[in-house]
Chains A and B, each alone.
Chain A
Amino acid sequence: MLKDITIGQYFPGNSPLHRMDSRMKLVLTIVFIVMLFVAKNKFSLFVGIVFTLITYLISNIPFKMILKSLKPILPIIIFTSVLNLFFIRTGEILWQWKFLKITEDGFNLAVFMTVRIVCLIIGSSLLTYTTSPIDLTDGIERLLSPLKKIKVPVHELAMMMTIALRFIPTLIEETDKIMAAQKARGADMETGSLIKRAKALVPILIPLFVSSFRRAEELALAMECRCYHGGEGRTRMKQLKLHLVDFCAVIYFAVFFAGIIIVNTLT
């Protein structure tokens, strides 16, 4: 159950998307989001769909994983669609029952918004599926490094993020283990009133906190033993460098962005 969470769920592979520089991927993901919002009618959005589809095919990520990333936002999609369907009152009436009515505009907008959100999620989850969390934070750190000039602790923030990401799977595993152990002692977490269930969390949370603190202390000690003293003067083992694939990606994005703008103006 817990292992279904997909934060920073990296799916190893060797597609062009995997090989791209993480900074480029981050920037292009933002461009992609802008692109989807620039698309203002169904024709230009269609270009966006084609783009998402091609990118998905290039990434070599199984369709099942994509569906998995869509599952958590399903309630949001349904909620906004229903709102759009019933509360937009302009345009031709398609269906009516008592005070409820669906108009053509409402229907169009609901479909439009749904498609846009789905594309958005697929596109951004492709980023996390094809980039390991460490590369991702590395990329973020490098992209934000100009902010160091105005005394933003970019390195420290990135390090905190890296550590947090690194320990999410460990923590999940640990939680699973502790839950199993307490279940073996007859702990009942699935039935009973809300208060009873909240109380049933105590045998899980206490050991989890205890071990998290122990782990944090051990990690701090290990880092100090290796003379870690913040980001100043620190060199990197893995240098980020732009390759041919990154430039191809820029061209690919530019072509589709231009396509969307052209379709926007033509229709």
Chain B
Amino acid sequence: MAVIKTEDLTYVYGEDTPFRKVAVDNVNLSIDEGEFIGVIGHTGSGKSTLIQHFNGLLKPSSGRIFIDGEQLWEDKARLREIRFKVGLVFQYPEYQLFEETCYKDIAFGPRNMGLSEEEIDRRVRETARLVGIDDTMLDKSPFELSGGQKRRVAIAGVMAMEPKVLILDEPASGLDPKGRAQILGLIREYHREKKNTVMLVSHSMEDVAKHCSKILVMNKAKVSMYDTPVNVFHRADELTAMGLSVPQVTKVFNRLKAQGCDIPEDVYTVGFGSELIMKILSQHKGADL
């Protein structure tokens, strides 16, 4: 069964004002459990608006949403329960830290869920380990940490709720390359360990190409593609027209293919690309000899 399903989901900002803006337009989606989905789209394409529907922060202007088969907004009293199933990490989540210590801040979500003290403690320590925050840091004030560390504490705060679906809105934005790699790595680690559904919003193709099982492309408030990376990157021209780009390696290999090289499938990671080149080169050597 699909863990998230939408039917004709539409959301309009500022209805009846001159600032009216359709941010999500008639989206029909069905997301399966355990998937690692990259959500990609130009700035302003409606990514953030779409994902805020999945845990009931925004109420659709029209259309329906089902989480785990249960319709959102049907019973408002159930909304909070459903929110625990879909964890949402906003962009720049470090701005939400407020507790005296990192430990308490990570425990905020689990505590709201009404878990026992032991369970809260287990979850806080486990997620802290997962995001690479050691025990001495847990007792520090979150305001003393570096930007990357703050970000990881904030992400841990949502992960500790162990949601069925974890959604992260541009979790690596505004960080240096090392920080980016760290954050993306720990998200992958989380997915590998927990096998939960993960949605990663980003506007960088390179970020999502590496780890995702599916890619969801948003363009002008609509979902224009929802497919495996291979199939999505195959439509490089369409992506370019939307102002998105395919990963650099994919560009190189698409060009090689266009020039008649025999390349079996689309390439979108550097590692796989170099393997392929080595293979082709060794074949050529064999032919030359």
Interface residues, chain A, with chain B CB atoms under 8 Å away: 11-12, 62, 64, 177-178, 180-188, 202-203, 206-207, 210-211
Contacts and interface: CB of A to CB of B under 8 A. Distances in A.
Contacts of A187: 108, 112
Interface stretch (B36-44, B88-96, B120-128): B88-96
A180 B108 contact: no
A186 B80 CA distance: 7
Contacts of B108: 185-187, 203
Interface string B157-187: 1100100000000000000000000000000
A187 B113 CA distance: 9
A188 B80 contact: yes
A64 B112 contact: no
A184 to B, nearest CB: 4
A180 B98 contact: no
Nearest to B143: A210
Contacts of B95: 177-178, 207, 210-211
B196 interface: no
Contacts of B88: 181, 184
Contact of A202 (B90, B98, B109, B158): B98
Interface in B66-115: 80, 83-84, 87-88, 90, 93, 95-98, 108-109, 112-113
Contacts of A183: 57, 83
A184 B53 CA distance: 11
Interface of B: 16, 18, 52, 55, 57, 80, 83-84, 87-88, 90, 93, 95-98, 108-109, 112-113, 143, 157-158, 161
Contacts of A207: 95-98
A161 to B, nearest CB: 24
A185 B98 contact: no
Contacts of A177: 90, 95
Q: In terms of DSSP, what is the predominant structure of the interface of chain A?
A: helix
Nearest to B167: A184
Contact of B18 (A12, A184, A185, A210): A12
Contacts of A186: 80, 83-84, 108-109, 112-113, 161
Nearest to B114: A186
Contact of A184 (B16, B90, B97, B143): B90
A203 B98 contact: yes
Given A185-B96, A186-B109, A188-B80, 13 more contacts: A12-B18, A64-B16, A177-B90, A177-B95, A180-B52, A181-B88, A181-B96, A184-B55, A185-B161, A186-B80, A187-B108, A202-B98, A211-B95
A103 to B, nearest CB: 42
A182 B158 CA distance: 10
A206 B112 contact: no
Given A64-B16, A186-B80, A207-B98, A181 B93 contact: yes
Q: Which 7 A-B pairs have the closest CB atoms?
A: A186-B112, A206-B98, A185-B109, A184-B88, A181-B96, A181-B90, A180-B57
Nearest to A3: B14
Nearest to B108: A185
Contacts of B83: 183-184, 186
Nearest to B91: A177
21 contacts: A177-B90, A177-B95, A178-B96, A181-B88, A181-B90, A181-B96, A182-B96, A184-B83, A185-B157, A185-B161, A186-B80, A186-B83, A186-B84, A186-B108, A187-B108, A187-B112, A188-B80, A202-B98, A203-B96, A203-B108, A207-B95
A130 to B, nearest CB: 13
Contacts of B57: 180, 183-184
Nearest to A206: B98
Contacts of B16: 62, 64
Contacts of A182: 96
Contacts of A180: 52, 57, 90
A84 to B, nearest CB: 35
A177 B93 CA distance: 10
A113 to B, nearest CB: 31
Nearest to A200: B112
A12 B17 CA distance: 10
Contacts of A210: 95, 143
A27 to B, nearest CB: 28
Nearest to A183: B57
A95 to B, nearest CB: 40
Given A64-B16, A203-B108, A207-B96, A185 B52 contact: no
A202 B100 CA distance: 12
A62 B15 CA distance: 13
Nearest to A203: B98
Nearest to B79: A183
A206 B161 CA distance: 22
Nearest to A185: B109
B167 to A, nearest CB: 9
Contacts of B161: 185-186
Contacts of A62: 16
A12 B93 CA distance: 34
A187 B161 CA distance: 12
